[in-house]
Structure 1
């Protein structure tokens, strides 16, 4: 489909520049978190978790915005955190599965901080293990020094995500289906409280099942459970799989409850409209939400070879996008006016893989949410996308 020279040159270039940092891999049983709280102690803020076992952990700092990240073994979070997530210098905290066997807690802090100490207390007086971290305000120079020291102490690890090699026959097309969000990043939240990450995974699995029945296709899911993948990992997954098509599945939410309908997006640094630009900005925050260190990542693709290949790739992306919309309309889901749009989504930036982002509908709209939560609605949407895949490959390779 693409010039082999471009593929070879791109692989060589991205292998040279593609070092990726990943969090620790821990293969321990899930640890119960029974209680979590924030406290003020003189001039410091303390974050405490009560746990059923002693955890191994890594703690590091992030800037722009200021965050503290705590990586732990997989946690079963049973704590009631209704007591509030803001106290002292901590403005908010969140938690979730970051990758297989690794849970992550992210503390949003209101400025430069220093970590005074991290302690694990053994069980005593009827209390289980207690993990606590004390933090204190500091100046920017001290913060940057501590940030650099903690970063250098974390050993570099190669990316744990390895996509399967596609089958040998040239007519077997590899389609990577990417369920948006996951783990610590729930995505949008529907009117009924349903998480976007659950909807995207359910529909993606249905697409995978349908495509698996066709001997022409080798469908692969970027994730098949509730784990987090960074945007760069998703792009890398598609490239490692030598994908012929990359489909990222999402379900948006917006402040206006009357807005509804599906839309399909392709890559462009110049957004088609303000709504597309705002959506791309929101989706591109996924790494920030999960506590990914953006300062060590370079998502920009530069150079003449990459630019040429990406232009060709974008043409194929647009071709597929224009086939998806009418199929979704047939499924019963309303489609938006100008339902093919474009903006600078990081997840679509593989320079040699045609990529689209499908927004299935608005979870903030009760009618859309009802369709997206139902088995019938999910199956019809999955079938619509699979039908578009058939038409696309019939067009480019009759």
Structure 2
């Protein structure tokens, strides 16, 4: 006959064990309830744009931007080329520019973070346009909050008469110098200051690779890697013209280096052209005459950065204008060329470079007087092999190492030249 085993636990112990299980169950229930409440909370309070619609009519084009909440916005026009700019707070974009409809009046779009906490939506126009209406519509039916902008045809003369209407004063200010102070004040002033300039940013994405790689992202990653290598032994001070995905004007990049008293200015880029077989890095210095047609075309593309972001090129102080046109510093040019040759030699040891890897053209971002300046193209995003390498952190470390060696050699030569 089968007999059940006698329990080794007494009645008191069984009661205590049951109480423990009940208390544990309560704790688990409380935690699950709390987690459910947390999960139900909205992940972000940032406005989200999830639809753009265009209605094209005989006498007007209606532009509709749909989002999850009401925001303050500002609309203004810019000329040469014709553009409409919508200034917004920081926005999360759930749209793709490639999917947006074009019309008789609208020929292109760009959007992204402009600077600080502002976003911009830039509309490229095929003709002079007047903003006849701009207003907000509250949610209705299955429609969310909407910004409505009606565009009507106008003459070039009337377009330029009204070009500055609607621009708030706060948006005319450039990035203040206080945001770009060198943090490490303990380093001596004799320590060379290198300004690294990751090209593009924010609303200006730069080149786009075949796999969707954005130039603005990979050059910022390279800038951080290069900075890490340069500051490792406190041999250099390093300042970045931008530290995140934000737009900075070309002339402001120059002004940052000028105000900080930079000893060297390095602008970082990745190119894209129609010839998909072309690959390899290159180094550019400033010249009033381009070395070849490709260099001239590249300079034109890079110099369009302010136009892409919807910047009024007529707003320019005398001080900055002087910086942009002052090309009289022959010593600066010579030092730029010397550094470019050192760069080309070192980069050629680490990565594939173009056969003629030192070129020159009229890059606006290289026009800082008294600061030796170069522009580095680390390859072509239009080439599948180059794009794969540029996306690789290991490859970017190789590029950064080559640049650091060239910088070391440059300042060694400069130091020897100053000796009596």
Q: Which residue of 2 aligns with 1:147?
A: 163
Q: Alpha-carbon deviations, 1:22-75, whole Å to 9, x = none?
A: xxxxxx963111211111245111111111222122211111111101110011
- Report the Cα distance in structure 1 between the residues aligned to 2:127 and 2:383, rounded to whole angstroms: 36
**2:69 alignment partner in structure 1:** 53
Aligned partner of 1:217 in structure 2 is 236
What is the aligned partner in structure 2 of residue 13 from structure 1? none
Residue 114 of structure 2 is aligned to residue 114 of structure 1? no
Distance 1:260 1:92, change over 3 A: same
Partner residue in 2 for 1:23: none
8 A Cα contact 2:54 2:101, kept in partner: yes
Describe the shift of the 1:389–1:123 C-alpha distance in structure 2 as closer, same or farther (beyond 3 A). same
CA distance in 2, matches of 1:374, 1:108: 34
Residue in structure 1 matching 2:291, options 272, 281, 290? 272
Contact 1:36-1:80 at 8 Å conserved across structures: no
Find out whether 1:98 has 2:114 as its counterpart: yes
The correspondence for 1:240, drawn from 249, 259, 266, is 259
Provide the aligned length of Structure 1 versus Structure 2: 367
* Alignment-derived partner of residue 160 in structure 1: 175
Inter-CA distance 302–120: structure 2 relative to 1 (3 Å threshold): closer
CA 1:272–1:117 in structure 2 vs 1: closer, same or farther (change >3 Å)? Answer: same
Separation in 2, partners of 1:156, 1:78: 25
- For structure 1, which segment, 37-46 or 276-285, has the greater mean C-alpha deviation from structure 2 after superposition? 37-46
Query: Per-residue displacement from partner, 1:131-169 (whole Å, max 9, x unpaired)?
Result: 111110011222122114445x64575422422147462
The CA deviation at 1:354 is: 1.0
User: Which residue number in structure 2 is paired with residue 347 of structure 1?
Assistant: 365
Which moves more between the two structures, 212-221 or 77-86?
77-86
The structure having more radius of gyration, on CA atoms, is 2
Deviation at 1:303, TM superposition (A): 11
Tell me how far apart the structure 1 counterparts of residues 303 and 340 of structure 2 sit (CA, whole Å).
20
Q: Distance in 2 between matches of 1:302 and 1:172?
A: 24
Does residue 86 of the first structure (1) align with residue 102 of the second (2)?
Answer: yes
Equivalent of 1:205 in 224, 238, 241: 224
State whether residues 171 and 216 of structure 1, in contact with CA within 8 Å, keep that contact through their aligned partners in structure 2. Answer: no
Distance 2:101 2:108 in 1: 5
- When the two chains are superposed, the root-mean-square deviation of aligned CA atoms in Å is 2.1
Matches within 5 A, 1:1-398: 30-79=46-95, 83-150=99-166, 154=169, 157-162=172-177, 163-165=180-182, 167=185, 169-297=188-316, 301=322, 306-308=326-328, 310-331=329-350, 333-398=351-416
After TM superposition, the score normalised by the length of structure 2 is: 0.83
State the secondary structure of the residue aligned to 1:294.
coil
Query: What SS does the aligned partner of 2:127 have?
Result: coil
Structure 1 Cα separation of the partners of residues 349 and 125 of structure 2: 47
1:302 Cα deviation from its structure 2 partner: 7.8
SS in 2 for 1:295: coil
Change (3 A) 1:177 1:192: same
Q: Give yes or no for contact 2:54–2:61 (8 Å, CA) kept in 1.
A: yes
Q: Shift in Å at residue 217 of structure 1? A: 0.8
